Structure 1
Amino acid sequence: MAQPTRRIKHATLASTVGTALEWYDFSLYGTAAALVLPKVFFPSDDPAIGVLSSLATFAVGFLARPIGGVIIGLLGDRFGRRQMLFVTLLLMSASSVLIGCLPSHATIGLLAPILLVVLRVLQGLGAGGEYAGAMLLSAEHAQAKHRGLNASIASVGNAVGSVIATAVFFLVQGLMSDAAFLSWGWRIPFLLSFVLAVAGFVIRMKVTDSPEFTAAVAERGVVRGRFADMFAEGGRRIPLAMLMSIAPNVLSYLPSVYALSYLATSVGTASWVGLVGIIIANLLKLITIPTAGWLSDRFGGKPIMIIGSIAGAVLFYPFFFMLDSGTPVIIWAALVMIFTLCCDMSLASQASMLSMLFPVRLRYTSVTFSREITGAIVGGTLPLVAAWLTGLGGGQPWLVCVYCGVLCLLCAAGTAALPRTDAHQLERDAAVSR
């Protein structure tokens, strides 16, 4: 008797929980870079300079992600997805714990920010291979008709990790005086990464490797893929996949990182307002991301990505208009509008398309390269560029709106040029060819 199939696989849930614990580290740094690290590691008479310096270290992590992504991707295509997820977990958690142990600028001077940058680079190396590995492991365990749903759920792990990081940061900050928090309290969320890392290792021990990868190894043996093979076999899909990855970065890091800094420095709201808004937006992702993944299975990833990208381009100006109100409820609605609704359409459709865009033996490398190069160029620099454009605009965010809108439209154009990869379309194409 045939066993019933599950729409959402055990491997998807297990890898997503692991991703949530791991993404706690990366999200925590983004929050701290906007609100704490400028004062601890980059003290300056001009607060804007401290913020810009701190956001620059945020960008450094993204610049390291393509390097880590390619290295981990090549190894993942050779030895399996599961093994690499242990490597990424170790890199990210160890870096976070050590950040929590770093002496401040007041203690060791210039050496403090230098060490911070080194650890941020190590964190970026791990993050470069994490999401792609979890997404591919989930997608490759799933049936074709549920592939988009399973692939997208890895992004739920990112949201859960961000909620935990923001909530812990907010809780510790709320229980302490400002002086105590800046002195040592901010370290507690980073040190907690050790406990979460142990849990992540235990959970991932129970996950088997991808059936598609295992079948490929059984058929051809372990194949040592070359970096050049990715371009030879990927062709124009590589640059188009890079364009497709623009909107997920813009719609993620503008609201979750730069908006926190903008609210604190330009609007003058208390830090808890933005943090609560990020928590609300991330909690809603538990519903919106799987829904967008299901829609990608139903209608294809391309239309969902294009809708999300164009919606973001249109809504950036209303987003900042709502932030400028200074009213908590309106600010929270703005964050949900961009960070949840628009962003999740792009994240889910990206996962759905990338998981079927490249051949199995080069898939991990191709996905990490195309995704992380764009992440470094766009996502990592976005908070810094946005802060600079706001200053250039006399404190007004209209230049930021134009910049982000153009980026999202480029994403929509690149996505439109890609072939459809949803299971239903592939089946129809195969039937026509017969």
Structure 2
Amino acid sequence: MNKPESSGAVRRAFFASLTGTALEWYDFAIYSAAAALVFGDLFFPSEDPTTGTLLAFSTYAVGYVSRPLGGFVFGRLGDRIGRKKVLITTLVLIGVATLLIGLLPTYTSIGVTAPVVLVLLRFAQGVGVGGEWGGAVLLSSEFGDPRRRGFYASAAQIGPPAGNLMANGVLAALGALLTEAQFLDWGWRVAFLLSGVLVVFGLWIRTKLEETPVFKAMEAEQNRPSAPIREVLTTHPRRLAAAILSRVAPDVLYALFTVFVLTYATGELGMSRGSALTAVLIGSSLQVFLIPLAGAVSDRFNRRLVYGVSAAAAGVWPFVFFPMTSGGSGTLLALGVVVALALHSFMYGPQAAFIAEQFDPRLRSTGSSLAYTLAGLIGGAIAPLMFTALLDAYASWIPLALYILVAAAVTVTGLLLGRDAPEEEGATVGTAEPKPAVTTG
């Protein structure tokens, strides 16, 4: 059995998981916000604003579609060569892609080459994010006390709202300091170019870490899987399905209240871009504190129950949100976004531990990464496109709310299929299932 890690090592792992994921999600969120606000005009010019927005959101979806590749490649490597090496590689990949987006000429300069290269860089971002999540979750949770797995695993979950907070904060500041013409001309590029500085900081933190104690024990026991993807698919199919379905509602809800809400508030409610960004900024600020709280609550109470009640409430909330914001009040918009992101937090906080607990320790990186990335295809990838298409087709918020309700039902189904893992499972590799005599796959 491994000796307990020092509190200093645990804190370093928690901070490295949080900051590294936040930096990668800053890059991802910068693109998401820019797709909603400026990319339609700059890279997909069209006389029909809806068409331009749909095309811009289609590149947003590419970032989700490419995630399974990252999950397949880097998730497998996380179980084969270690969590730390994978996390350094994914940080470099997404940082370089974001930096290049900031330097990319627009459609008016190089024509159709601009959107083609933009899509390729977005694809690279998605590969990086797809490989990041599983490793970041294990980095913090495998150093921490298994009785507090929900709290420690939530470090990686704080990354998206923290990154979203930084991204929208930078965009809001640029929007306040620059004119509309300046922002469209060069101001949006500043937010992307800042990624270079942030990536250097993230690399400095991650290179100072040791490998997780669980993976070091796997190496010592020669218990690393030789074909982890096939082994997950053949030995853990129900657990993989549960983990995938559990992610759908959080992804769809997040897409609505951090990405599509920017388009909805400015296009349908006639509000300023600053008001919409401020609402997301406030909600994301609170999430930084609510997500670890939710993870801790799930350690005290049943994790699936906390997750499921939050998913049910999230399914109902859009039926309140859309009517209350129909008058165009900035205050009510902010309140609606805050409540939605609070509900998201109480799904997202327990989520990392729930997904990791579905898989044996020797398959955790692969299983968690596959679940995370495959869920994105049916959740966050198509959500902004669906929201835009439904609103354009029906000119009503009701189909949007029904979409969220269905997503919530899918997530509850996943939670019912899942398991409550023993808290001691995976505290060390010695508690894992023994290496099979014949490796499956």
2:273 aligns to what? 271
**Deviation of the 1:424 alpha carbon:** 8.3
1:370 aligns to what? 371
1:400 aligns to what? 400
Give identity over the alignment, percent.
35
Q: How does 1:170-319 map to 2 (within 5 A)?
A: 170-220=172-222, 222-319=224-321
- Distance in 1, matches of 2:296 and 2:73, equals 31
TM-score of the pair, normalised by structure 2: 0.93
The answer to whether the aligner puts 1:115 opposite 2:117 as a matched pair is yes
Contact 1:62 1:380 in 2 (8 A): yes
TM-score of the pair, normalised by structure 1: 0.94
- Distance in 1, matches of 2:5 and 2:113, equals 59
**Deviation of the 1:4 alpha carbon:** 7.7
2:360 aligns to what? 359
- Distance in 2, matches of 1:214 and 1:323, equals 52
**Deviation of the 1:322 alpha carbon:** 2.8
Could you say what secondary structure the match of 2:419 adopts? coil
- Distance in 2, matches of 1:144 and 1:424, equals 6
Contact 2:24 2:95 in 1 (8 A): yes
**Deviation of the 1:380 alpha carbon:** 1.0
Q: Map Cα deviations across residues 15-64 of structure 1 (whole Å, 9 max, x no partner).
A: 21121122110011110010011111011111111111101100011000
1:169 aligns to what? 171
Return the structure number with greater helix share: 1
Q: Quick one: which amino acid aligns to residue 370 of structure 2?
A: F
In the alignment, structure 1 segments of 5+ residues that lack a partner are: 428-434
- Distance in 2, matches of 1:80 and 1:388, equals 42
1:23 pairs with one of 22, 25, 28: 25
1:430 aligns to what? none
Could you say what secondary structure the match of 2:120 adopts? helix
**Deviation of the 1:222 alpha carbon:** 4.6
1:413 aligns to what? 413
In the alignment, structure 2 segments of 5+ residues that lack a partner are: 428-441
Could you say what secondary structure the match of 1:423 adopts? coil
- Distance in 1, matches of 2:256 and 2:212, equals 34
1:35 pairs with one of 34, 37, 41: 37
Report the CA distance shift for 1:224/1:310 in structure 2 as closer, same or farther (over 3 A).
same
Report the CA distance shift for 1:276/1:7 in structure 2 as closer, same or farther (over 3 A).
farther
Q: Quick one: which amino acid aligns to residue 380 of structure 1?
A: A
Report the CA distance shift for 1:400/1:160 in structure 2 as closer, same or farther (over 3 A).
same
**Deviation of the 1:117 alpha carbon:** 0.3
Q: Quick one: which amino acid aligns to residue 359 of structure 1?
A: D
1:380 aligns to what? 381
Could you say what secondary structure the match of 1:186 adopts? helix
2:94 aligns to what? 92
Contact 1:300 1:422 in 2 (8 A): no
Could you say what secondary structure the match of 2:268 adopts? helix
2:333 aligns to what? 331
Contact 1:310 1:409 in 2 (8 A): yes
Q: Quick one: which amino acid aligns to residue 178 of structure 2?
A: M
Could you say what secondary structure the match of 1:326 adopts? coil
**Deviation of the 1:178 alpha carbon:** 0.9
Contact 1:40 1:104 in 2 (8 A): yes
2:140 aligns to what? 138
Contact 2:248 2:378 in 1 (8 A): no
Which stretch of the first structure deviates more once superposed, 55-64 or 2-11? 2-11
Q: Quick one: which amino acid aligns to residue 227 of structure 1?
A: I
**Deviation of the 1:105 alpha carbon:** 0.6
Q: Quick one: which amino acid aligns to residue 296 of structure 1?
A: S
Q: Quick one: which amino acid aligns to residue 102 of structure 2?
A: G
Report the CA distance shift for 1:425/1:321 in structure 2 as closer, same or farther (over 3 A).
farther
Q: Quick one: which amino acid aligns to residue 22 of structure 2?
A: A
- Distance in 2, matches of 1:145 and 1:178, equals 51
Contact 1:139 1:355 in 2 (8 A): no
Report the CA distance shift for 1:422/1:294 in structure 2 as closer, same or farther (over 3 A).
farther
Q: Quick one: which amino acid aligns to residue 391 of structure 1?
A: D
Q: Quick one: which amino acid aligns to residue 384 of structure 1?
A: L
Report the CA distance shift for 1:141/1:426 in structure 2 as closer, same or farther (over 3 A).
closer
1:432 aligns to what? none
**Deviation of the 1:325 alpha carbon:** 2.5
- Distance in 2, matches of 1:278 and 1:318, equals 18
Q: Map Cα deviations across residues 45-86 of structure 1 (whole Å, 9 max, x no partner).
A: 111111111011000110000111111001111011111111
**Deviation of the 1:326 alpha carbon:** 1.1
- Distance in 2, matches of 1:320 and 1:253, equals 15
